[in-house]
Amino acid sequence: MKLRTKLIITFLILILLPVLFTGLAIFGFGQHQLNSLKKLYGIDNFTYEVLSNTTGMMSRITKNIYLSLEQKAEEDVKAFENTEYLDSVNLELETRSSFLIVRKGEDYIYCGKQGVQDALLSQLPNYKDYDPSQDIGIFMGGEVQALVKQLNLTFADGAEGSAFIITSLSNMLPEVRSLMLNMVFTLILILVFTSTILTAWIYTSIVTPIRHLQVATKKITDGNLDFEMPMAGDDEIGELCTDFEEMRRRLKESAEEKVETDRQNKELISNISHDLKTPITAVKGYVEGLMDGVADTPEKQEKYIRTIYNKANDMDRLINELTFYSKIDTNRIPYTFEKINVSAYFADCVEDLSLELENKNIELAYFNYVEEDVQVIADVEQIKRVINNIVSNSVKYIDKPKAYINIRVKDVGDFIQIEIEDNGKGIATKDLPLIFDRFYRTDTSRNSSKGGSGIGLSIVKKIVEDHGGKVWATSKEHTGTVMYFVLRKYQEVQAT
């Protein structure tokens, strides 16, 4: 849910929820109070309209007593001079927050409440001022704040008088006060409840993710990338947290790659240093032998010079690998693609290898199974580098007295497949998927005879893949290894 939608919902809830709950509370409490008032005061047809009208409500509460006084005035007017009767009526009125006053002529012969204010007595309407249409009563404001219901009557001796039911509005009915207090308390409770729910929701959806972002930012500032950013929903802040987590993950990957690259570079320098030191030591030894006259025959001299030449070639090869490795890292390998006749090209490659392998007492066999006109688009020098690197790797790990390397070129549909097989020590099954990784070495205990930079086969993979082909290997320990790579055949596109 988007943040804008959440804010709109929050706004609507702040308005509608309190109104809804308050309405339900008013209905519930009001219904309860109506039933209570009906039961306590015996009032029929008591409605919310009456309950909301304080004057009307007070009038309805004392209506039955007023009617009974009217009937008494018709049947037995002498009762209004009977204190016992008047006390009983007043007692009933007290339960309705009211009291009775009786006036005869100008004198007040009965007052049901002590300490009645003179202001009230002075404002009571005269006998002649009575308006029978005012069945609700007369509201007296000012300091009095009372509802007055007047009943005019003629005493037995012919004197004019009035009976007054006084209901003080300041002494509102307990049930009404309770209703008001309940309404206020309920409204406060509703507002607190609504605010709590919305605050928790907003806190969870906004404040909590922001705190997570603050903690994550502090960790990254301290160089700690080993944590995971908690997800925070699908709103804008959630999307920000997701982007932040992606940034952290990439930073971590970049940091790990940098550490791995530094490690590989150190390993490369160590490997190259080791592999350069071995031929340099040999060259120095043979040169010193020539200088000291140890090689005192033409045959020995030729042998020393050839050995020096071979060691120089080894150093040149290592330097070339290092140079090519730097080009791989920057994706600046210089390719010159051209059409190559497969049969002729690989025959030349095998011829170049034969002399070198013959000097190492390794038998080389070449088998060509493609037609003479088959061509590929490739870089002559780089494919030759592929073959030389694979063969060099095979030579390093041949451990048999009778060593051989077989090179086969096959036609496999749209591709030509080159297979280079040796009878070396083989590669363990667990190591086979990793041999094309940079600096990976199946033989971790390096020595001078099985040295190398550790990047030869990774260079092979890079070149072959840049040609649109692929490379893989099969091997069996103590038996030998077969390296495969394929190149797409060149096919003329017929014009339509």
Is 138 in a helix, a strand, or coil? strand
Q: Which residue's entry shows tokens 């034969």?
A: 354
In this prediction, residue 446 carries a pLDDT of: 41
In this prediction, residue 447 carries a pLDDT of: 40
C-alpha span between 227 and 81 (Å, rounded): 95
- 12-26, 166-180, 212-226: which range is least confident on average? 166-180
Q: Which residue has the higher pLDDT, 455 or 427?
A: 427
In this prediction, residue 39 carries a pLDDT of: 57
C-alpha span between 335 and 330 (Å, rounded): 14
C-alpha separations of 186 from 11, 21, 34, 456 in Å: 21, 9, 18, 82
In this prediction, residue 176 carries a pLDDT of: 60
pLDDT, tens only, 401-411: 899 999 999 99
Arithmetic mean of pLDDT, 240-258 = 87
Q: For the chain, what are the domain ranges? A: 53-172, 337-488
The helix (H) or strand (E) run that includes residue 284 is helix 236-291
C-alpha span between 213 and 227 (Å, rounded): 12
C-alpha span between 271 and 277 (Å, rounded): 10
pLDDT over 70 (residue 201): yes
C-alpha separations of 26 from 21, 45, 81, 166, 174 in Å: 9, 19, 45, 29, 17
- 40-49, 174-183, 251-260, 372-381: which range is least confident on average? 40-49
Q: Where are the alpha helices (DSSP H) in 360-485?
A: 380-396, 456-466
Task: Kindly indicate the confidence band of residue 232, based on its pLDDT and cuts at 50, 70 and 90.
Answer: low
In this prediction, residue 80 carries a pLDDT of: 92
C-alpha separations of 342 from 105, 339, 366, 377 in Å: 143, 9, 13, 10
C-alpha span between 179 and 193 (Å, rounded): 20
* Contact indicator for 61, 53 with CB cutoff of 8 Å: no
C-alpha span between 131 and 137 (Å, rounded): 9
Task: Kindly indicate the confidence band of residue 87, based on its pLDDT and cuts at 50, 70 and 90.
Answer: very high
pLDDT, tens only, 446-496: 444 455 556 788 889 999 999 999 999 999 998 999 999 999 999 876 555
Query: Residue 293: left if φ>0, alpha if ψ -120 to 50, beta else—which one?
Result: left
Dig out the tokens for 435 from the structure: 């041999």
> Which amino acid is located at 151 in the chain?
L
Give me the CATH code for the 337-488 domain, please. Answer: 3.30.565.10
In this prediction, residue 97 carries a pLDDT of: 79
* Contact indicator for 159, 105 with CB cutoff of 8 Å: yes
C-alpha span between 78 and 85 (Å, rounded): 10
**φ, ψ (nearest 5 deg) of residue 173:** -60, 140
**DSSP E strands: which ranges in 128-238?**
138-140, 146-154, 160-168
pLDDT over 70 (residue 60): yes
C-alpha span between 133 and 358 (Å, rounded): 139
Q: Which residue has the higher pLDDT, 73 or 446?
A: 73
In this prediction, residue 312 carries a pLDDT of: 86
pTM: predicted TM-score of the whole model, two decimal places: 0.48
In this prediction, residue 90 carries a pLDDT of: 92
pLDDT, tens only, 142-180: 666 788 888 888 898 889 999 999 887 665 555 566 666
Query: How much of the chain exceeds pLDDT 70, in percent?
Result: 79
Among candidate residues 392, 394, 388, 382, the one with its CA nearest the CA of residue 469: 382
C-alpha span between 320 and 352 (Å, rounded): 18
In this prediction, residue 263 carries a pLDDT of: 78
pLDDT, tens only, 365-376: 999 999 999 999
Dig out the tokens for 354 from the structure: 């034969």
Most confident region among 145-154, 158-167, 304-313, 336-345 by mean pLDDT: 336-345
